Amino acid sequence: MKQIKLLFYNYYRFQIYVGNRDIAPFMSILLIVFIFIIYMGGLNFLFTILFPKGMPFLNFKMIWYFTCFLSLFFFIFLYFKFLYREKYKIIFKEIEDNKSSKNKAFAIIFPVIGFVVFNLGWILKMLQNQGKW
């Protein structure tokens, strides 16, 4: 949970830096959920590579619905965790008091890994469909 708080804090600061001060808390949550969707898409590709013939429980449509449901649930969870009654201000005060916990590297590496996993997944799936892998 501490990592999500740090992600929210760093993405909030980024939104303020680029000029979205009015909607920074909401956009920070949307950015975290979007990165989560990228991770889920990459994992979907990797599952279809590991199980090329498919399994009864492993259907692309079912995984897509599961991803949408999980993303919506994650968005609602983050909304109530941070935005409801402006709880993010208390969390920011905790983070700013603890100077050593401001880790910007995690906020940069987290979406990069998701992007790499997603692109690796579709490239491997393309090679598998062509019969080269």
| DSSP code string of 29-83 | HHHHHHHHHHHHHHHHHHHHHHSTT-BTTB-HHHHHHHHHHHHHHHHHHHIIIII
Q: What pLDDT was estimated at residue 56?
A: 62
Give residue limits of the domains in the chain. Answer: 2-130
Model pLDDT for residues 2-13, shown as the tens digit of each residue: 899 999 999 999
Read off the pLDDT of residues 41-100 as tens digits, 9 standing for 90 and up: 898 888 888 877 766 666 777 778 888 999 999 999 999 999 999 999 999 998 888 866
